Structure 1
Amino acid sequence: MSVKSDQLLIVVSVLEGRRFPKSPRLRLEVQASFDGEQLATDPVEHREQPQFSTELAWELDRRTLHQHRLQRTPIKLQCFSVDPGSKKRENVGYVVLDLRSVQEVRQDPRWYPLLSSKYTKQKPALLLGTTLEIDRGASGASGASPDRFKARKAPPRRGSASGPGLLPDGLQAKLVPDQGYHQVGPADVCSDMFVLSVTVAFGTKLEQLVPSTKKLASDGSGFFFFYSLLGNDITSEPFQNLLSPDFEPERASVRIRSSKQVLQAFLSQQPPLQVHLCCGSHSLGSTDVSLSSLAAASGDVDSKAATVEGAFVLQPPRSVKLPALPADLQPTVGVAITLRKEEGPPQPSEEKSRTAAEQRPRSLSPPPPPPHTESEAESLLEELHAERTGASDEELPAPPLHQPEGGASSISVSAPKVSIPSSAHHYCFSLDLRSLGKLRLPQPIAATLRYSYPFFGSAAPIMTNPPVELQRNMEASLPQSFCAFDFAALPHQLQDTFLRVPLEVELWHRGATSRDQLIGRASILLSHLLSSNRTRTVGSTGEQSWKQTHQDQVPVVHPQQASEKVAELSYVATLEDLGFIRTKQVVVSDSSQGKLPAGPQPPPSTRHTPEYRAALELELWKEEQEDLFDHQLRRKELRHMQALAKEWRRRDGEREALVRKKELEFSLLEEKLQKTLSELEKREKHLAEAELQTQRLQRELRAEHDLAQKELQEASRRLQRESDHRVALERDKVRLMEEERARLLQQIADGEARFKQLEKEFQIYREQQNLRPEIGLQAELNLLTLEKVELERKLESSTKSKLHYKQQWGRALKELARFKQREQENAAARLKKQQAELEAMRLRYLATEEKEAVRQDRRELDDIRNELNRLKKQEDQLGPAPSDPAPSDPAPSESAEEHLSRLLEERDTLLRTGVYSHEDRIIAELNRQIQDALRDRDL
């Protein structure tokens, strides 16, 4: 019997890339990080299709893997471009892998596009493969291969599985959807049917899993227990109080088709069953229940059931540090795991589930029973038992009201007891989510709808599957979105719940490589269903029922901004009232169900007699009268129950008011306590900061002192080394100088001796030469040669001087030509200037002449004016003669007009010359005279 190792390897295969730009000077590298640990591939060439061919692996156990899957810890792969010369790294893009998609069965590699890629035009991608392998090195097997990355699942072996040596190592439970069970082992050998049940019964001291600094409250979803049975996630009914957890024990069962020994081997290979206490999406603690103990206890499973049960201690997550607790304060959960052999051959399921909204199994429980007394419940159970034992063999018990959701599952969850009053009605509610449309988001989403309504008997969420792609301003139909609920309730409870509690539908975006994102919520008012038209329907057995249908479209609003509409949901809701609950439709427990008869018995011949028919009619009339009487009794019971419910609600309101008052007092005390704790924490924080500051200063002073001491020691050693080096250099210099001095003294002595020898030889040679006659001629020849050389030098000097003077003369001629041209240009400029000055002088002279003429005219005008004034005075003194005609002055008027025209023309002429401006004195004087002339003319 092979034991499955608890140590695993998460292996990520980085195979190759595509659509990368070619860059010969760079390299590509992929770095993967998971749970704070980083692994990297070797750098490869930066080309269009880089070949990495590298496997990266992380070691962990199954419990840690399960916690990471609950927390949705990602595996992030970052691609870098590396420059080998400068060692510069630049992020090219990244890929995020979902740990939940990593399975033990090797899957084909997939192409993952780089997110936030630097190369936006090429859209590069990486070919990645993920698998979960058993760590052979950790299992301790002697025959394990040293290459731990090449683990493979062993194929199942054909033949008999009677011997332990023939059992396969890689047993797996394969679901058979149409039969409703899991197959473990070869189907031709393993044909026995077993039932594996898990029951979560109770929880104690659960508040110890929550730190004292946090409030003991949930986010509205409550607390619940969670575990995974053969890959199926099971959740218990939620409860709100950890101090006194109140929830009904639930049993989850799964049918397994296998043989005894193969099933024992399979359970031995399975990891421990982890039961988590959850709040929302967070795990507060978990415990392990070994399935190997169940396998060891299942040796006599053919005759009796094997059970592993007890109170298991819940351990907090590794990230939460809680103080050690004594044994009587440790949080525990009561779990029982039972394996029994199912009697009879496996039968296919007679009734398929009416919901296809969710393919995975979910935990179901009966709806909360209406308030009733304990005596009524006992009498009801006795009545049901009496009627069930007295029923004829021809009546087959109807299926229970609550079937497991998802036809492709073999798991069932049941509560140990159900108490339903006789006045309750059997209802069937169905919801068909038709389509989604009018999406107002810029990007498409993978839409999944999720909802739950605990009144129908289950608080587990119902989700549409698979996700559908919904694009902007388009409508998409939702496959497998029809769900039906069978439940029992009182009519007034149904109306009150439908009027008060709407059905909330959540729209989620389920990304392939990212976490699920809540897009919006839609509220379906079930009160519209109550106000719709009722139609009467007749079933196949002749039973009459009432049916109400409502079809509508509701907006899907943003989860934070209720006024913002993100999409629109179309649905059809149907409510069917099937009448009162029949006793034959209630199944209290598994043990109370009778076995089904193999087939109908042939009727006796006496049933065809008239006496029998008369007796049968009498019995039918009695049954009808009994039904009528029962109906009247139920109506009376309903009235009494309504009165009791009203009184119950009143007392419940009083209790709630008292509880709210106590909660307010406790909250005030808690606030005071929190305030005191916060002040203490602040003081402790300040003290810790001051202590850290003091320690930091001490460390800095100690470091400065050590550094100064080290610097002084280093300076002293450096000076000592320098002085020693200088002394050694000076000694070497002195030694070399002494050697050089001795060598030079020796050379001087040798040179003096040689000089004396040469001087003696030269004296002898000169005496010998003086005696020869060629000496004189040689002297004259030498003298003539020197004269010749001197003459040649003078000739050469004269030639050079002549050439130099010639060059200087040429330069002087060129300079003279430039001077002459410059003088001509200057003369032309002076001529232009003189002409301009002459023109200006001419204009000035003309202006002066004009001015003199104006002055002369003005003097004449003044003389005329004076003469006129004098004549006017004389006429005024003498008076006009009667016979003289009236004087006329056309001539003075004409002279004034001419004078004014002359002044204007003179002023304009001076201004046109450009010599004068309006600011000159002569122009100002002309303007004044013009003004005077204008005034005189007006007069």
Structure 2
Amino acid sequence: IQSQISQIMLLLSFTGRYFPKRPKRLLIVEAKFDGEQLATDPVEHTDQPEFATELAWELDRKALHQHRLQRTPIKLQCFVLDPVSSSKENIGYIVLDLRAAQEKKQAPKWYPLLNNKYIKFKSEIQVGVVLETDSKALVDGFKAKEAPPREGKASALLSGLDPKSIVPVLNKEEGCHQIGPAEHCRDYFVLSVTVAFATQLEQLVPTTMKLPERQPEFFFYYSLLGNDVTNEPFTDLINPNFEPERASVRIRSTVDVLQVYLCAQSKLQIHLCCGDQSLGSSEIPLSGLLKKGNVEIDQHPVVIEGAFVLVPPNRAKHKLPQLPLDMAPTVGVSVILQRESLSAQLVVPLNASTGPNQPQEKVLSATKGKTETLQQRSQNAPSQVNHSSSTQDEATESDVESLKFEKGMKVKKKADNGPVGACQPNPVGASSSSEPVSAQKILIPAASHHFCFSIDLRSIRGLEVGFPINCILRYSYPFFGSAAPIMTSPPVEVRKNMEVFLPQSYCAFDFATIPHQLQDTFLRLPLLVELWHKDKTSKDLLLGVARLQLSNVLASEKTRFLGGNGKQCWRQTYNETVSVTAAQGSGSRIADLSYAITLEDHGLVKTQEVLVSDSSQCVGAGQQRHVPHAQPRAPEKHPEPRETLEYKAALELEMWKEMQEDIFENQLKKKEMVHMQVLAEEWKKREREREALVKKKVAEYTVLEEQLQKTLRDLDKRERQLFSAESELQTVKKELQAEHERKLQELQDSVRRAREECAHQVELERSKIKQLEEDKLRLQQQLNEAENKHKILEKEFQQYKDQQSSKPEIKLQSEINLLTLEKVELERKLESATKSKLHYKQQWTRALKELARIKQREQENAVAHLKKQQQELEHMRLRYLAAEEKELEKTDRQELEDIRNELNRLKQQEEERKQLQDVGDNSAGRVSNSRKLNENMDDYLSRLIEERDTLLRTGVYNHEDHIVSELDRQIREAIAKRNITK
């Protein structure tokens, strides 16, 4: 449970503002932390949404420290929920730093939404971050661990029930817990748990444990069918005084299912707690309540009762050896399971009511007889569990006192005349008894000493109560032989600022016990003296309690004196004034009590059986001397026996013997005193030597302890340094890892973007090439049509030439004119085709220029960002462009070759036509034709030069390329032809 105290609850609360109003939408906030995602309840989408839900995570302090070292963020995401389509839209997020969270309450802060979808609105969310100690984990830590099913496993499998699936379900309508399937739950039962008493609880408090400064409160805790039950707290562990309490639960089930459930939940854990700490726990096996084929529950209740040993948490964890049974701390528990019909019949004898309308009932006063029966069993067998049915035995208060008397030492109290009075000593080893007829025998062990303890409560002074009181002091110490309280009488009036001496406040106790046991008891158990105010009109009022530490008398100086039988005895006396603290409230001082206590040791007691009777004139050893009487004779025949000479001589002899015995005893006593003094001196001498040796050893041990503490401090300091260095190294490592991942992600994003951009550019170029290919096909089709027309014209011209020889000359002239018109038309078409081809070449030139710019830009980006990867892509692109250029070069070369062939053919035709025309033309027409031919040659030459310069300006071609060298050759040929023509 101490490990559960370190549990921390991380709480988040939310409020929003500056949101747009969306009537048919809902807002929800989701938070992710520690691998767990939580969400608030949906709220209306208003301008100031109120999130009425708190989000909480449970984690221990070690995990919280690790999260803070690792800077684990808390990510909050805000969603808009559509109730109709159940779709969610992320409108923003917030990242919180866990290191800013503190355990003390802090004011919430406003955080703006990052990546806000509402651009026109500056939406904000107020987040409150609180760290609280998880109190629920303290209660859950007490619950018993789930044990595997034992006897009921096979029957559960046969009946088709899994023992782990059987859990109690609260039925509020019927006021009971339902165990098992509803169709099988036909019977009603009552399960009751009673915590009756406890013993030796002081053994559970370790010396290293720090109890609260004020008066600590202790209580017992257990869980009954998921209901947490605690009894009334008590403050005294040595004499735990609490009312036995009974908790009952009404169950609806069947005997078979209940048997399976009890076997699965095999143990009931009961914890002794102080605040939020468990001092010890005990396990009560429940599997023995119901067994297979057990029909006892139909006739009478089944019971598990007894005293169970409380085991400290450290002993259960480290498997420490257990204490002896007579010294072990125990708790008396009774577990009763019965049918509801039987419980109705047993209400009166059990003095417990089980309400049918409440699932759990806590009984504040249980049966006295049952409690005392458990106490009696605890004395006989403290750790034994008795499985039996409900018993009818009842014990009285005298029986309880006799049990306590037998458990303690064989003691006796002096018989007094009044309630306290001056007590007359009884013989050693005798004991007061309440049985007047039958005598009681007490066996006193040989190692016991005869002690006489007296206490004198002298005066009360320094009263701090605001009213005069009728003072009565009351105390009880069962170790002296009786648990009955002892009170001063009569009451005396005490006022403020006065001292009052108490009458009849002296009491003495004679008892026999072992000195070691006496010392241990005085050290452990203080004497509690209660201060009561006795009022005639109302009940007595307990004002305060004074704690008398009886072990102080053992440390006082011993004085020697002779006892009544002539034996040497020792006496120790102690006087003190203690404070009386208030019984209720803050425990402040309300008065001072002066007292004196005396302890007398009368030496060893021989092993004997002491016969106790009502007569107070018994001999100390329980024996009497019986003097034999002679038979009486007649006075006239025999004289008086005491007057005879023989009697007188025998009497003188007996007196001389007694005198010699007294002289011998006195000499022995003197020798004994001398020997005792010698032994005392020798003992003191050896004691001084032992003390010197012990002081020397203590000094050595102190030096060694200081060295060890210094070494431990150094080790602790080194460990802290190592831990801090390791934490810093871990933090730096995580930061470097995060930086590496971030840079790698950025590089991957840049590569991806470059690839996408390159693919986009390639796609654009492909689309442009496709468009150019379509234009090329269209122009090729037009060229084919022109060639077809030209072929037709050639055929017609051939026919014309064939007909020319047979027709007259006028027809020939008209046909020449017609052919001239057709020639003009063909020239016009040729010129338009040439212009189209020039336009196509200009478009291609612009495409080449754009391609060159793209190439240059891609080369720069590849050199700056992609290095080796982009170089490969550049090589691929260059190869693709080279292949494309080669293809284009082949296409252009073929086109130029076709154009040149066409031009040559047209020139030949033109020359033939000119020759035909020159037959009928004069010299002036011949000069004009040659001038026109020169003009066409100049246009052709200028067009070739322009094409060559355009290709060179693109930067893709140079003078060494085949197409440029071919154009140069054609230009030279054209220049040569023009010069010849001129």
Give TM-score, length-normalised by structure 2: 0.31
Question: TM-score when scaled to structure 1?
Answer: 0.32
